[in-house]
């Protein structure tokens, strides 16, 4: 759906129709029905149809997710930055996830934390968040660098495609400090919905529009694979060292081996590193929450007190352990279910689209949308993963 702002900035938001009544008599809004996509993902199709329908005098285009909380004056601040520096190709922002209490929501929070790197580099960054992107409208009208063609003809991910184009042509991507948005996660965000989200993220690495894009995705695949399991392995070894120490009093051989190793020293060092990491995440989250509260003084005030840092630690381990597994599955399956639509890739582009009769909600925001659960509520994480493995070769019947 599209809102045409009087500032000549088309604002593309997936709004609930009822939410429009909050702005009645204040905005010049127009609803555009995009229809079904046939050559690209549904999100990209909606965006491109919106761009086609925008006013001829529109100067900028802003793509926003509907489940983030904007601050007063956000659109104006983004526009001011674009006016100040015409060299900006894309201006982006990032979500500050507010976990709902489930492990899945904490995994999402942990996954998005690296996005904040853009704020530590003076606003310049090399990656995008598709939930907030402001661009020059003429770039779409002129199909600059073939970006419209790349998105329309088999495009799956809007942000990764545009980031690859920006990197290939050495264009500037920025993230101003005002573009951090509170993102309350759904209270019913189960582990299966987190797994579906992770699958969509790793599936992105299988789509590409150019050789440069393919190389970048392969590099991200390899680096993330190495770092993720490289992060988890020390904790596995720490458990081995602790078990050995506990077993030592009852076995002479184990006692001798334990006495000649420095396992407990390594475990102590790992504990210090873990505490340092958690304190760093706590401090970064604290700063972002303070910033959001300052930008929205009259809005809901967020607090660190709602965060469970024990679950944050577990989420870090779970997320890093599952990422390579999800990436491997995405590589070999070459298909993904996104909100009831299954996409198939060939040579990095969408080659086939199948739609199911019933809707599947896969969004993360706190909108209390309930879709079909992929496993019984009482089933354990291991039980869910075993089901996932058993249905590996049945992508059409399995709702990921």
- The pTM assigned to this predicted structure is 0.78
Domain interval for residue 61: 12-218
Please report which residue ranges of the chain form alpha helices under DSSP H. Answer: 42-53, 74-84, 103-112, 137-141, 147-152, 158-168, 191-203, 211-247, 252-259, 263-295, 309-333, 381-390
Question: Which residues have a Cβ under 8 Å from the Cβ of 155 and sit 6 or more positions away?
Answer: 40, 41, 44, 161, 207, 209, 349, 350
178 in any annotated domain: yes
Q: CA–CA separation, 35 vs 46, rounded Å?
A: 8
The pLDDT value given to residue 378 = 44
The pLDDT value given to residue 241 = 77
Q: How many structural domains comprise the chain?
A: 1
CB half-sphere exposure, 285, CA atoms < 13 A: 24
The pLDDT value given to residue 249 = 64
225 in any annotated domain: no
266 in any annotated domain: no
The pLDDT value given to residue 235 = 93
Greater pLDDT, 275 or 263: 275
110 in any annotated domain: yes
- The pLDDT mean for the chain works out to 79
227 in any annotated domain: no
SS3 4: strand
Q: CA–CA separation, 396 vs 6, rounded Å?
A: 45
182 in any annotated domain: yes
For range 26-35, the mean pLDDT: 76
CATH number of 19's domain: 3.90.550
116 in any annotated domain: yes
363 in any annotated domain: no
171 pLDDT above the threshold of 90: yes
Greater pLDDT, 349 or 378: 349
99 pLDDT above the threshold of 80: yes
Greater pLDDT, 106 or 124: 106
210 pLDDT above the threshold of 90: no
């Amino acid at each position: 759906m599209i809102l045409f702002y009087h500032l000549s900035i088309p604002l593309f938001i997936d709004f609930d129709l009822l939410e429009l009544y909050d702005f009645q008599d204040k905005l010049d809004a127009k609803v555009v029905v995009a229809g079904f996509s046939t050559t690209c993902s549904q999100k990209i199709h909606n965006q491109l149809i919106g761009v086609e329908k925008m006013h001829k005098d529109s100067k900028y285009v802003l793509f926003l997710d509907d489940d983030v909380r904007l601050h007063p004056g956000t659109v104006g601040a983004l526009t001011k930055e674009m006016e100040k520096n015409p060299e900006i190709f894309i201006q982006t922002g990032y979500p500050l996830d507010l976990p709902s209490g489930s492990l899945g929501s904490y995994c999402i929070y942990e996954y998005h934390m690296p996005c904040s790197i853009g704020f530590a580099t003076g606003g310049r960054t090399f990656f995008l968040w598709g939930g907030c992107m402001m661009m020059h409208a003429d770039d779409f009208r002129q199909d600059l660098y073939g970006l419209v063609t790349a998105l329309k003809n088999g495009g799956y991910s809007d942000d990764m495609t545009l980031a690859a184009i920006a990197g290939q042509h050495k264009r500037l991507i920025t993230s101003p400090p005002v573009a951090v948005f509170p993102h309350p996660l759904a209270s019913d965000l189960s582990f299966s919905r987190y797994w579906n989200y992770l699958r969509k993220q790793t599936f992105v690495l299988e789509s590409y529009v150019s050789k440069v894009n393919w190389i970048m995705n392969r590099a991200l695949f390899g680096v993330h694979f190495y770092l993720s399991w490289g992060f988890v392995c020390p904790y596995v070894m720490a458990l081995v060292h602790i078990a050995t120490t506990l077993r030592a009093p009852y076995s002479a051989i184990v006692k001798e081996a334990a006495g000649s190793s420095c396992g407990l020293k390594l475990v102590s060092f790992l504990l210090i590193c873990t505490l340092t990491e958690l304190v760093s995440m706590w401090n970064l989250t604290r700063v972002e929450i303070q910033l959001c509260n300052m930008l929205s003084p009259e809005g809901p005030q967020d607090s660190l007190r709602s965060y469970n840092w024990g679950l944050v630690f577990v989420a870090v381990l779970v997320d890093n352990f599952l990422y390579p597994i999800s990436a491997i599955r995405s590589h070999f399956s070459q298909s993904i279910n996104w909100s009831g639509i299954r996409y198939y890739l060939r040579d990095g582009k969408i080659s086939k689209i199948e739609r199911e009769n019933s809707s599947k909600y896969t969004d993360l925001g706190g909108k209390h949308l309930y879709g079909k659960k992929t496993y019984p509520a009482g089933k354990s994480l291991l039980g869910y993963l075993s089901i996932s493995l058993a249905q590996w070769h049945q992508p059409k019947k399995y709702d990921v």
